[in-house]
Chains A and B, each alone.
Chain A
Amino acid sequence: MIFRTFKKDELKKLVEILAAHNRIVGPVEAGRDKHGSPIYAFNEVSDFNSIRLNYTTTKLPAKRYFLPFQEDLSSFRTEGGGWQKIIDYNADKPLIFFGLHPCDINALNKLDKVLMHSVYPMPYYAAKRKNMFIIGVECIPQTFCFCRSMGADTALHGFDMFITDLGNKYFVEILTDTAYNFLKSIRTEEPEEKDHVLYMKAVAERNKKFTTRVDTTDLAKILDMEFQSDVWKHWGEICLSCGTCSNVCPTCYCYGVEETVDLDLKGARKTKTLHSCNLIDFAEVAGGHNFRPERHSRLKYRYYHKHRGFVEAFEESLCVGCGRCGESCLAGINVPEVIASVRGGKIKK
């Protein structure tokens, strides 16, 4: 691993140089909530000043840039009884992601496993993912963050370079030669021993800020044991089945496919739309039978997929502990409480 440091004002220069030739997506302030606190979002940026490097968790993940809510898998030109299928992976330009937090980088790493490194890799995802240059940035843990419990508080790979604030300068970890070459355009220095000390101090300071914990010991097994547990019914009763948890989740990738004929009848398309396992028709089959008609069975399924099925397949959970689902859920359903309740804890009412 190669490390460098650079002075704080060099960062602006780097972004400006990169922005001159590339599309950059970064954290911006999308608005203010009713308490006057900023609401952050990932958006395309052209001006360094609009980037909020010290942002807290965005409401929505960066998902739309690699798993858009809706995209055509193929289109068809029809003529008479015949047709031609046209396939487009819907990726045209590379993209620089500036300022992803470790949890969101880990989310990408997890998605890579199922969408790129398992059987039938998905070209629609791969085409976008392979065209992303990622600049990670250290975060300030929030009260709802439990990424540490999920082993997602630090990112070991899945980015090109990673920046940590050392007070008067940045410490940068370089993983790819593209990043190495980009950094040639600004003034960087070899880190000294005192920079290492500062880095370790910064990491230790950050570690102190994690307050929420989830006990994941034997969780896959416990979920199996508690499949019939009544706690699911409690959560099912208050769940709105609105799909928000999936939409704000950086790793939810489930989808549905619909075929539609164009209004002019000259073509058709096959469209993929992200779906949520909490929506009523998720497990509906031809003929109308629904394998999960109750809210609690759908909510339970979501936990099973994240914390059991994915563990079984990839030796790790599909949850990065970013806490977005709990923050966005109007009913207040959140992972730490649900898992604690499954493990026999009391439910706060």
Chain B
Amino acid sequence: MKTKESDTKTYLGMPLYRPKVGFFEFSSCEGCQLQIVNNESTLLDFLSLVEVVSFREAMTEKSDDYEIAFIEGSITRDDEVKRLKRIRKNAKILVALGSCACFGGVNQLKNRFKNLNWVKKEVYGRHPVDTEPVRAVEDVVKVDLKIYGCPVKKEEVEKSVLHIALGKSIEIPKYPVCMECKANENICLFDLGELCLGPVTRAGCNSWCPNSRAGCWGCRGPADDANVEYMKKIMKEKGFSEEAILERLECFGGFADFLKRKK
């Protein structure tokens, strides 16, 4: 996995910053990390931009000498808190990778239950598991960059790393998924009578789900200036139940702020 130190990459005659990076998984399915190694055609170019020192999905060696730490998963246990804090100390740049790290992800659904002990018993039976309410990474340590999505879009990860190497700022779309969905010429899911959070969810996924005629579940969280309140009203007027709407908005945790406001 390591490339030679000698072949320093340059762009327009300027040497690139080649950061040492580590990937770390917390409570998650590790699907985001898999996305990154998923694309053979660009994998080598991607790996030549960085020096990977820790990556369970792709290598066995491990090191604590890294500059960028990619954190996948949400924080659900006390030992995870300690580990995350240690990583934060080592890393110059800490990246929350994917919906779990950014908002708690699907895992945070368990926070809906008042009695966590009951949840624990239902899920793990008598197996002793230490579990706390799910938290997003930024609720525990400072996060420098968020890469949204469940799973993340590997192009976005690649672009982010490239921009760090070039010293370019990282721009994530501020507008909602509708923009990309229309560009992909999809039939609006509301025309098909289906529920979709595309009008309020941050774009960047290239309307992944609507492309296969599946409504958006909001995994990338709200777009900048998303009009969630009015969107709720629209969905209701279109005949969707309060429960169905709530289920969507709650699924990945990205819309938590808009749900609190209502209570």
Contacts and interface: CB of A to CB of B under 8 A. Distances in A.
> Do A and B share a direct contact in the complex (Cβ within 8 angstroms)?
yes
A59 B174 contact: no
21 contacts: A31-B187, A31-B192, A34-B191, A34-B192, A41-B185, A60-B185, A81-B13, A237-B230, A240-B178, A242-B176, A242-B179, A242-B199, A244-B199, A247-B182, A248-B182, A265-B10, A265-B16, A280-B174, A295-B225, A295-B227, A328-B188
Interface stretch (B78-86, B118-126, B158-166): B158-166
B42 interface: yes
Given A64-B185, A263-B46, A39 B174 contact: no
Contacts of B199: 240, 242, 244, 330
A283 interface: no
Contact of A243 (B10, B168, B175): B175
Given A240-B176, A279-B174, A34 B188 contact: no
Interface residues of A, number: 39
B11 A244 contact: no
Interface string B5-22: 000011111001000000
B191 A39 contact: yes
Contacts, number: 108
Contacts of A70: 183
Nearest to A274: B183
Interface of B: 9-13, 16, 42, 45-46, 49, 158-159, 162, 166, 168, 174-176, 178-179, 182-183, 185, 187-188, 190-193, 198-200, 223-227, 230-231, 234
Contact of B190 (A30, A274, A280, A330): A330
Contact of B175 (A260, A265, A280, A295): A280
Interface string A61-82: 0001000011000000010110
Nearest to A259: B168
A263 B158 contact: yes
Contact of A78 (B12, B49, B162, B182): B12
Nearest to A33: B191
A330 B234 contact: yes
A239 B226 CA distance: 10
